[in-house]
Amino acid sequence: MTKLTITDWAEEDRPREKMERLGAAALSNAELLAILIGSGSPKESAVDLMKRVMSDCNNNLNTLGKLTIRQLEAYNGVGPAKAITILAACELGKRRMMERPEERVDLGSATAIYNYMHPRMQDLDVEEAWILLMNQNYKLIKAVRVSHGGLSETAVDVRVIMKEALLNNATIMALCHNHPSNHAQPSTMDDQLTQRMKKACELMRIYFLDHVIITDGRYYSYNEEGRL
């Protein structure tokens, strides 16, 4: 009987495609390792090879990590490069366990937003607009520059902003931009943008926390001014 390679499998069963579709948690240890080594041998696929290796390790990743390069090379289809890749992945897993989770920035107030964004904006000679995407606890998920414009205004596409928010699973969002003139008072266009952002967020059920205008030394907050 002809041996099927991974490329002969149904696409939904291939490790890479399966991970892209369902996420890494849906894959077995052997499937994840198969992605790392890329290929097996003429006699077995990368997944079957890694199933065999894991079986010899009692399906325990800690045991796998204790193997030497030479011990891994004893398996047909595992050369020095693949053995090193496997042990490097095991070492990264061990180091991750020893490190503390990265603390996310709390951006629950206009002052916190200003303190976070001011170093990024204080020396700009043109306007930039950024969105700050947060989880339900006001912890920063991602800061995204959404426009880079002229001396007195910058074009902001609300559709692009909402797409970023949805892709990053944000539940809270703040908008901020700088005024190179160093005058913090909002313009009519700033007011209009704020209202467009508020309506878009309401439609998508995302809490629009604030629109903060950044200058070098002070800020204007629509939320603090009661304009949201």
List the chain domain ranges.
Answer: 6-98, 110-221
Digit-coded pLDDT (tens) for 133-165: 999 999 999 999 998 875 444 578 899 999 999
Contacts of 83 (CB under 8 A, 6+ apart): 69, 72, 73
What's the CA gap between 215 and 185, in Å, rounded? 10
Digit-coded pLDDT (tens) for 164-210: 999 999 999 999 999 999 999 999 999 999 999 999 999 999 999 99
Q: What's at 228, amino acid-wise?
A: L
Residue 220 has pLDDT above 70, yes or no: yes
Q: What proportion of the chain, given as a percentage, has pLDDT over 70?
A: 92
Q: How far is CA 44 from the centre of its chain?
A: 35
* 127 burial level (CB within 10 Å; 0-12, 13-18, 19+): buried
What is the pTM assigned to this prediction? 0.62
Matching fold, domains 6-98 and 110-221:
no
Q: What proportion of the chain, given as a percentage, has pLDDT over 90?
A: 73
pLDDT at site 103: 79
Question: How many C-beta neighbours within 10 Å does residue 18 have?
Answer: 19
Q: Which fold has domain 6-98?
A: DNA polymerase; domain 1 (1.10.150)
DSSP 8-state assignment for residue 181: T
Highest CATH level, class, for 110-221: alpha beta
